[in-house]
Structure 1
Amino acid sequence: MYETNATVIGTVVTDPVKRDLLNGDQVVTFRMASNSRRFDNTTGQWVDNGTLFLTVVCWRRLVDGVDRSLHRGDPVIAHGQLRTHDYRTRDGAERRDVELRASAIGPDLSRCTAQVFRRSEQRADSAPDGAMRNTCAGSNAANHARVGEGPGDSAATVSSTSTRGAEPEPVDA
């Protein structure tokens, strides 16, 4: 199988969901959006050039950090193996989902600030829940996911996707 590694910059558009699998492993999944915009010289305006929506799947060491840190509306940078998943919906329609099996995820510090708590340094008195929290100026994640605040950025929202019956194979993280 071809392993295509990619780095995607975007916004978390669904709250991460943590699941316990039958074999004892845990997995966290969320959807993210990455917008492409370009400057149109003829109109002098930024125009949308498409949005990539993908499912991000986190295994092993990423589970705790993502579950405690990320929320809908947070700007993120995700890196991992890019794959497609073909499936058929209950009404018989064929669909294709783009999936990123993440090996690293972090806040996009060009659009937010973050306080980092290393796992080895976590103590009950220094970080109540041992989490890294993002603070995004102007973010209103309760109403919509903001893909960006500056020129070339736009907003995107997406409804939650259904979970698939078959679990994806974990990647080494």
Structure 2
Amino acid sequence: MNVKQQYDSLNINQDQALIQLNLDYYLKLSRRHTFKLSTNLQSILASGSLVSNELFRIGGFKDLRGFDEDFFKSSDDLIQTLEYRFFLDRASFINLFVDMAYLNQSIGTAFEWTYNMGFGTGIQFQTKSGNFSLQYALGQSKDQTLSFSNGKIHFGYTNFF
């Protein structure tokens, strides 16, 4: 099948809508102790079926630690995070976290909801040019067993202008 035949078979008149909800709540227990509670919901509503490249990419440092970056593809997901932070100074902390995700990993008309979890610990510290974050996490899903050999180290950096 050539490219023209593949393109002609696509439904290019499909309507789509994107729904997103992001909630973060920080519960300050004392000067050095804080809990972060986070809920992120996103969904693609489509008049037809979705193809793989239209799905959300989930996993890794930004949303579901303990998995490779973009390990999962999902048309609908709910990700919740519970994180404890012990502050070393104003912008530096040590943390413990649990990320839980309910993902609809369906393509076409079949629905397959999965539960996935990542947990771990890490540190964020402030430098003159930005914040550096190092997290170690273990993840568990139907495709990945809970094992130290499957642990992931996530690096993050936010620079200041």
**Normalising TM by the smaller chain, what interval?**
under 0.3
Which structure has more relative contact order (CA 8 Å, sep 6+)? It is: 1
Q: Could you state the TM-score of these two structures normalised by the residue count of structure 1?
A: 0.27
Q: Could you state the TM-score of these two structures normalised by the residue count of structure 2?
A: 0.28
Decide which structure has the larger Cα Rg and report it: 2
